[in-house]
Amino acid sequence: MKFSLNFIQEFLKVNLPPEQLAKKLTMAGMEVEGFEKSGSDWIFNIEVTTNRHDWLSIAGIAQEIAAILGKNLRIKSPQDKKQPLLLERKVIIESNQDCSYYLGRSIKGVNIGPGSQKIQSLVVNCGLASINNVVDITNYCMLKWGNPLHAFDQDKLEGNIYVRRAKKNEFFIGIDGKERVLDKENLVIADSKKIIALAGVIGSKNTEVDDSTKNIFLEAAIFSPLTVRRSRRRAGVDTESSYRFERRVSPEYLEFASQEATRLIKEIAGGVLKGVTKAGQKPKISPKKINISLNGLETYLGVKVPEEKFKTIIASLGFKFQAKAKGQYLLFPPLQRFDLIREVDVYEEVSRIYGYEKIPPQIPFLRKAMDSRVVDRGKDIYRFNSELADYLARLGFKEIISYSLQGREELGSNSTLLGIEIINPLRKQENSLRFSLLTGMIKSLGHNLNRSQSGLQFFEVAHIYLNDRKGFSELPALALGRSGKEDEFFLLKGAVEKVLQYASVQIFEFREEKLPFFSDGLTILSKGKVLGFLGKLDQETVKRFSLKEDLFFAQLNLEELAKISGEKRYKPISPYPAVWRDISIALKKQVSFKEVEEVIKARCKHLVDLRIVGFYQGKNIPAQTTAFTLRIFYQSTDKTLTAQEVDIFHNDARQALSQIKGLELR
């Protein structure tokens, strides 16, 4: 959006050089994309964010500049003392949802001609074309107050004014000369015989103000943002008016814009106000109340804002306030600021005007996370799930979303006793609530495998539904799935361990167990509580779903996991390099890999990581035996480890591993 510095001067005297003003506005959040000189004026081009509809008016921008300069802006409202009632024409609103309020003014005896030099200059410098004195005035008032106006040639109106939806295939020719076919998505302004405007978007050619116009009907209204957006898209037109209505307009400034336009038309075009008509009810905005604590502000920003500075900032932003107690205030945001609702909104306002550069960068102090206002992660399952999903995405897993309905027999006859049956399903394939996330994972992986994708790893966070001795229950669950060869099992197991570590679960174990639908299964336990399971999908189920690769699947009970989730603890990263060594072993099936891990962790000094980098079964390896290549990483927090030191630790680990029955060093 463009604005004129001379236009701003109507509200506020700005003595700052344009370069400094542009910098201050940008630093406060109103990004200035460029500025240029035009005669005695300066034109600024700014980016308007979707939440700041008030920046679509000169009044709103002036308020922002006043706050940056530490000044209080006093907006004087135009006054029109005599408002005779217009009896000759009524306004009928079909739906208050589409148009809550409509204000019309009849002005007669105008002389259409060129716009006044001052208004013409301001309108053009803000990016609009000069048309004539009346249209320039409506554009001037729209720019000034942010409320679009429209002037109709009153002599071309027939009967009453109707605010209604268009009929199917109604034709409309706009002032741009283009013909459009409308339907029920379009909100229109019509008289008794024809459409005279696409409401909130563009006027019609048939009531356009031209050189022969003598009498004006001036429209000001509050239209639904959603209705205007849909209507504008359906008609394929975008205007300055629709841009503002889609972002909401201020009911407070509606009267200002209409009154000032009437006064200027009377002064410049020589008209006389003959009557005013209204329909609907002007939206009443209840003043919002926000309690603010200076201690809370300091905690949030990490810097102390002096109390007098705080009061200066909120006053310059248009807030009214009352002191409640020491360091505590009750604030009343400006009525035209719809975006100021909560305490944190005020924190943001204060911080950007006070200056982001004055807030020192710092690492968050963990103890603040234990503040009573912050919900405990173990109890807030939604936050826990969201954090976990972000973490899995960083591990390289892709998120999927599957249906909560499934067929009872999709996984075979073993699944018919599980889940909750739907009495009146719409389809046989969706006759029960899912008892597991397995079916959705199988279908998602199968869909991608059938499209020549491979090496897939997906996750899903969703609810499952059970029917047990306690009755019906709904539980949040996490599913992890990988496709590929046998070594994917160990990679999936490693991912599960990463999840448990992320949740700060210190004690956990994997126990072999026969699981339905899986040929190799492990139950995940922590202090005797079952957290979930993982395994390789059995060949019967693989064939049932025609999967082109094996599927390795894990499912965790997130409710149980969140309950036992511990505090996160951080430690500094060592500035010294890590060194790694490999150990190749052959492990018989009856030996738990957990035993190998425990030995390595107990005997390897300065151990920081342990990974499986190789896996083999087959030729030259005895039956029921698996060959692994383990990579052990050593790193000290105090110094750079020498090769000789690492060799000592490593040989000690090899010696300890050689004592395990059923393990052979290779």
Q: List, in sequence order, every beta strand (DSSP E) within 1-75.
A: 2-4, 32-38, 41-46
Tell which residue, 89, 87, 91, 85, has the closest CA to residue 189: 91
pLDDT at 21: 96
* Mean local confidence (pLDDT), 459-474: 85
pTM to 2 decimal places: 0.60
Question: Is 579-665 a CATH 3.40.50.2000 domain?
Answer: no
Answer yes or no: is pLDDT of 328 > 60. yes
State the average pLDDT over residues 522-542: 91
Q: What are the tens digits of pLDDT across the range 178-207? A: 999 999 999 999 999 999 999 999 999 999
Alpha carbon distance 650, 661 (integer Å): 20
Residue 367, pLDDT above cutoff 70: no
What pLDDT is recorded for position 575?
92
**Fold topology of 290-362:** Phenylalanyl-tRNA Synthetase; Chain B, domain 1 (3.30.56)
Q: State pLDDT tens for residues 388-420.
A: 999 999 999 999 999 988 887 777 655 555 668
* Secondary structure (3-state) at 516: coil
**pLDDT attached to residue 188:** 98
Which of 21-30, 208-217, 233-242, 499-508 is predicted least confidently?
A: 499-508
DSSP string of 89-106? --EEES-TTTEEEEEEEE
Identify the pLDDT of residue 412: 65
Helix residue ranges per DSSP H, 591-632: 593-603
**Which residues are CB-contacts of 78 (< 8 A; sequence separation ≥ 6)?**
256, 259, 260, 263
The pLDDT confidence band at residue 110, using thresholds 50, 70 and 90, is very high
CB neighbourhood size of 453 (10 A): 13
The reply to whether 381-564 shares the fold of 290-362 is no
Q: 235-244 pLDDT, tens per residue?
A: 999 999 999 9
The CATH architecture assigned to 91-280 reads 3-Layer(bba) Sandwich (3.50)
Please state, rounded to an integer, the average pLDDT across all residues of the chain: 90
Using pLDDT thresholds of 50, 70 and 90, give the confidence band for residue 590.
confident
Confirm or reject CATH 3.30.930.10 for domain 381-564, answering yes or no.
yes
In this prediction, residue 368 carries a pLDDT of: 42
pLDDT at 569 over 50: yes
* 69-95 tens-digit pLDDT: 999 888 887 876 677 889 889 999 999
Residue bearing tokens 């692994």? 628
Mean pLDDT lowest among 21-30, 63-72, 415-424, 438-447 = 415-424
- The two structure tokens encoding residue 623: 């039956």
Q: What is the fold, at CATH topology level, of the domain defined by 2-69?
A: Phenylalanyl-tRNA Synthetase; Chain B, domain 1 (3.30.56)
For residue 587, the cross-strand partners are 626, 663
DSSP β-ladder status, 170-173 and 99-108: unpaired
pLDDT of residue 527: 87
Q: What is the pLDDT of residue 417?
A: 53
**If DSSP codes are grouped into helix, strand and coil, which group holds residue 540?**
helix
How does DSSP classify residue 265? I
Spans of all domains in the chain:
2-69, 91-280, 290-362, 381-564, 579-665
